[in-house]
């Protein structure tokens, strides 16, 4: 009985082309386009209210406008890392161990790292204007930097070799451990003496220490950046799905090539 071994080059082109045709344009949907437009509209609102309509602070003057970027980016970073932790738990503790949860965790962590970097940059600029220095080994700044480095390490762990399931398992364990740092960062100004001011809105006393128009501008920023986060997660996790599909196609090609080599060696 004869066995026909497929041509590896032909299989490679067929698999990759099939994946490409099947998933072309999948990162963009009607919902994601609407979400993108809504995000853009709110960002324009934020620029108008943050730069033009909201009043300067009595003490910090116009430098307070950095708050409309700094606070929303910090919030989105917390949100993103929280979603990473939740998705990691869903992967580990659900019976199916679906890789979809792993991709959401990875996509959210990547976006969280980006927003945490923006938080550190805008915080340094704000610190230079208010404290006179770009950086101080303050409790809030130090714990935030440590959180940033932790999730950079998480992304590095995801890049290690192995199967998709092996990647998902080790990443999920680290994702659950890393999320514990978020409360430490948030409450650092209360646990230790800190240069960083305490929360002006979400504080235990419930006393909002902010002008109404400034509060509205900040609220617009929080919504705009939150929508931007969800838009980015939608696209990134779908792109990660495509990457996994291409990896699987390449693995199939490698297996066929190896079988072809083995068959030729046995004939020789």
pLDDT, one tens digit for every residue, the chain (268 residues): 443 434 444 444 444 454 444 445 566 778 889 999 999 999 999 999 888 878 776 777 777 888 899 999 999 999 999 999 999 999 999 877 889 999 999 999 999 999 999 999 999 998 888 888 888 888 888 999 999 999 999 999 998 878 888 999 999 999 999 999 999 988 887 777 766 666 655 555 555 566 778 888 889 999 999 999 999 999 999 988 888 787 766 545 544 555 555 666 566 5
Report the C-alpha gap between 154 and 237 in whole angstroms. 16
Q: Is 143 exposed, middle or buried (0-12, 13-18, 19+ CB in 10 A)?
A: buried
In a domain, 177, yes or no: yes
In a domain, 254, yes or no: no
261 in any annotated domain: no
Q: Which domain holds residue 189?
A: 31-245
**Within a 13 Å sphere around the CA of 43, how many CA atoms are in the beta-carbon half?**
12
* Residue 37: other Cβ atoms inside 10 A: 11
pLDDT of residue 264: 63
Say which residues have a Cβ less than 8 Å from residue 178's Cβ, sequence separation at least 6.
Answer: 81, 84, 85, 147, 150, 151, 154
The residues facing 61 across adjacent strands are: 57
Q: How many domains does the chain have?
A: 1
DSSP secondary structure string for all residues of 232-266: HHHHHHHHHHHHHHHHHHHHHHHHHHHHHHHHHHH
Contact (CB, 8 A) for 224 and 90? no
The answer to whether residue 143 sits within a structural domain is yes
Which among 60, 49, 59 has a CA at the least distance from the CA of 219? 49
Q: Indicate which CATH number applies to the domain containing 204.
A: 1.20.120
pLDDT at 110: 96
Cα distances from 237 to residues 46, 95, 150, 242, in angstroms, run 27, 21, 21, 9
| Residue 181 covered by a domain | yes
Tokens of 7: 């041509």
Q: Give the relative orientation of helices 30-48 and 212-267 as an angle to the nearest 10 degrees.
A: 140
Q: What is the 3-state secondary structure (H, E, C) of 138-176?
A: CHHHHHHHHHHHHHHHHHHHHCCCCCHHHHHHHHHHHHH
pLDDT of residue 164: 86
The first and second tokens of residue 158, run together, are 């995801």
Instruction: State how far the Cα of 73 lies from the Cα of 67, in Å rounded to an integer.
Output: 10
Q: Does residue 229 fall inside a structural domain?
A: yes
> Is residue 82 in some structural domain?
yes
Interatomic CA distance for residues 3 and 266, integer angstroms: 13
16 phi, psi to nearest 5 deg: -65, -40
Domain-embedded: residue 154: yes
The token duo for 145 is 């930097």
Supply 137's token pair: 């080994």
* Rg from Cα positions in the chain: 24
> What per-residue confidence (pLDDT) applies to 7?
46
């Amino acid at each position: 009985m004869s066995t026909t071994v497929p041509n590896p080059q032909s299989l490679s082109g067929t698999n990759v082309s099939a994946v490409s045709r099947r998933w072309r344009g999948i990162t963009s949907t009607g919902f994601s386009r609407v979400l993108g437009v809504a995000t853009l509209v709110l960002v324009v609102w934020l620029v108008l209210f943050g730069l033009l309509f909201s009043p300067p602070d009595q003490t910090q003057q116009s430098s307070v406008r950095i708050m409309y970027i700094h606070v929303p980016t910090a919030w989105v970073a917390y949100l993103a890392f929280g979603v990473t932790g939740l998705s990691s738990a869903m992967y580990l503790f659900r019976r199916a161990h679906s890789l979809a949860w792993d991709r959401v965790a990875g996509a959210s962590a990547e976006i969280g790292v980006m927003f945490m970097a923006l938080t550190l940059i805008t915080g340094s600029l704000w610190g230079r204007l208010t404290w006179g220095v770009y950086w101080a080994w303050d409790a809030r700044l130090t714990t935030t930097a440590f959180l940033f480095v932790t999730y950079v390490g998480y992304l590095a762990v995801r890049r290690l070799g192995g199967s998709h399931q092996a990647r998902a398992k080790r990443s999920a364990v680290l994702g659950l451990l890393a999320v514990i740092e978020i409360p430490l960062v948030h409450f650092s100004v209360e646990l230790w003496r800190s240069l960083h001011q305490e929360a002006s809105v979400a504080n235990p006393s419930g006393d909002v220490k902010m002008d109404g128009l400034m509060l509205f501008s900040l609220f617009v920023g929080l919504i705009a950046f939150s929508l931007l986060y969800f838009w980015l997660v939608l696209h990134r996790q779908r792109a990660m799905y495509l990457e996994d599909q291409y990896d699987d196609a390449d693995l199939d090609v490698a297996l066929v090539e190896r079988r072809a080599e083995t068959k030729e060696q046995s004939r020789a």
